[in-house]
């Protein structure tokens, strides 16, 4: 899990499949925890308190945005505008335990 972006309005986290699982397996006494089969991105809209998880084709589309940002460094406003579009998909409230 890698935090890619954190601002007053949004947090973007890249979830990677089986990340660091191999390092933990020898130390685990119980059955392994469920693992991700593919990578994805969690986008949290701090203003609304909702999050969306992008995987599959949505994650690939978002990955293209990230690649474009690496080529042409965007302004914070450009990043926030893009995240705002994805935040429109957010339906899940953020719950902290």
Domain hosting 50: range is 2-93
More reliable by pLDDT, 7 or 93: 7
More reliable by pLDDT, 97 or 74: 74
Task: Give the pLDDT band (50/70/90) at residue 23.
Answer: low
Domain count along the chain: 1
Residue 46 has pLDDT above 90, yes or no: yes
Q: What is the residue whose two structure tokens read 């130390």? A: 27
Q: How many CA atoms lie within 13 A of 32 on its CB side?
A: 12
pLDDT value, residue 97: 44
Distance between CA atoms of residues 14 and 40, nearest Å = 6
pLDDT above 90 coverage of the chain, percent: 60
Distance between CA atoms of residues 60 and 55, nearest Å = 7
pTM for this model (two decimals): 0.75
């Amino acid at each position: 899990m890698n935090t890619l972006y954190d601002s007053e309005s949004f947090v973007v986290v890249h979830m990677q499949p089986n990340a660091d699982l191999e390092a933990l397996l020898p130390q685990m006494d119980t059955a392994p925890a469920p693992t991700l089969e593919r990578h994805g991105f969690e986008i949290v809209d701090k203003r609304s308190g909702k999050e969306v998880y992008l995987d599959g084709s949505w994650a690939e589309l978002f990955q293209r945005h990230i690649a474009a940002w690496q080529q042409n460094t965007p302004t914070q406003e450009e990043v926030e505008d893009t995240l705002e579009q994805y935040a429109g998909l957010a339906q899940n409230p953020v719950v902290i335990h």
